[in-house]
Homo-oligomer: A and B are copies of this chain.
C-alpha cells in the first residue's frame, strides 16, 4: 500500500513497477489517471490550482486505500494525488491496483476514484479567461460513492 500527496508529476511505469517488481503472481493491473482538461463545461481552462489539507489528505488517501484493500483481494494499491498549480494536460491523480483477477483490480480502482472525489480534502480552483472560481462539488459524485 503506497499513497503520496505531492506537487511533482508521477510516472505511471515507475509506479506500476513498484507494485510488480520481483513478483510473478499478479494477473491484473488496473490504472486510472485523472488529468486537467482545457475545457470544463463551456469554460476554457487556463490553469487549475489544487488546494489541500496536507495531514488529512494523506490520512484520507490511506483510509481509502485500506477500505479498497479490505474489500477486494488486492495484491497492491497505489494512490498519488498532486496539489498546487497545474496546466491543461497535466496529471492530477493516479490509482494503480494489482490483483490475481481483473474484476478486483478494476472495481477497486473505480471505488478509490469515487471515494477520492468526495472524501479527499482537495479543492480545485479554475482560472478561465472570464476569471477565477472554485469548482463546485457535484452531487452525482456523492451518488457514485454511495453505490459501493
A58 contacts across to B, CB distance below 8 A? none
Supposing A11-B13, A12-B16, A25-B39 touch, asked if A34 and B102 sit within 8 A by C-beta, the answer is yes
Contact with B along A1-41 (1 / 0, CB 8 A): 00000000001110010001001111111111111111100
In whole angstroms, how far apart are the Cα atoms of A88 and B28 in the complex?
A: 12
Closest to A28 in B: B34
Bin chain A's interface residue count: 20 to 34
Oligomeric state, in number of copies?
Answer: 2
Instruction: List the one stretch of A61-69, A105-113, A127-135 in contact with chain B.
Output: A105-113
A27 contacts across to B, CB distance below 8 A? 34-35, 37
Supposing A30-B31, A32-B29, A110-B106 touch, asked if A38 and B24 sit within 8 A by C-beta, the answer is yes
Give chain A's interface residues, CB within 8 Å of chain B: 11-13, 16, 20, 23-39, 88-89, 100, 102, 105-106, 109-110, 113
